[in-house]
Structure formats: structure tokens, C-alpha cells
Amino acid sequence: MEAPPSITVHKVQLGLLGRVGKPEGSKVTAQTAELIEQFVPYLETGELTALDYELAEGQGWQAIIDALGGFEAGKFAKKVVVKVQDE
């Protein structure tokens, strides 16, 4: 799927998470474990919590574009989550 020119795409390698048999997989898994350890105290005290969000209608790039327009127009009271593909 190609992104419209107005959207910057930052690819992540979450597919490597847990693949410790591969050098990059081991690195990504170790870095993720470190981050989780750093977040645990904040989660336990309630200083860090999940944000309330609204699920935007639709799916894919057009849904992202529509949600951005709605967010900028003040149509959402919370953070907006857009599905980019089926689960």
C-alpha cells in the first residue's frame, strides 16, 4: 500500500520481536524488554495509563486522511485510532 505524499511513513520491525534465533531479532527483543522494565514502575503506580481513544470509521490511508480532517475540525473529543488493515 502506497502512502499519499502528505503522509510520512516510519516502518518498524515488530515482526522481529521474539525471534531470538536471528541477530536482529535478539536485539529488538532485548530492547523491548528493557523498555518494558522501565515502564513497569509507572504502570504500577498509575502514573502511566492508557489513553482514552475513539476508533475512527473506515480502514486504510483514506480513513487516516478522513480522521486527520475530523481531528483538526474538532470532531473528536479523544485521541483517534485508525485501523490500517484487518487484525
Same domain? 4 vs 24: yes
Per residue in 21-60, pLDDT tens? 888 889 888 988 898 899 899 999 999 988 889 999 999 8
- Looking at residue 1, its pLDDT comes to 60
Mean pLDDT of the chain: 86
Percent of the chain with pLDDT over 90: 24
Query: Cβ-count burial of 65 within 10 angstroms (0-12 exposed, 13-18 middle, 19+ buried)?
Result: middle
Which residues, listed in sequence order, are joined to residue 81 by a DSSP beta bridge? 55
Per the CB < 8 A criterion, the answer to whether 7 and 60 are in contact is no
Range of the domain at 81: 50-87
Beta bridge partners of 79: 53
- Residues 43, 54 within the same domain: no
**Partners of residue 59 on adjacent β-strands:** 83
Q: The pTM is what?
A: 0.47
The domain tally of the chain equals 2
Write down the pLDDT at residue 37: 92
pLDDT at 44: 94
Same domain? For 3 and 42 the reply is yes
Distances (CA, A) of 78 to 54, 55, 57, 60, 67: 6, 10, 14, 20, 12
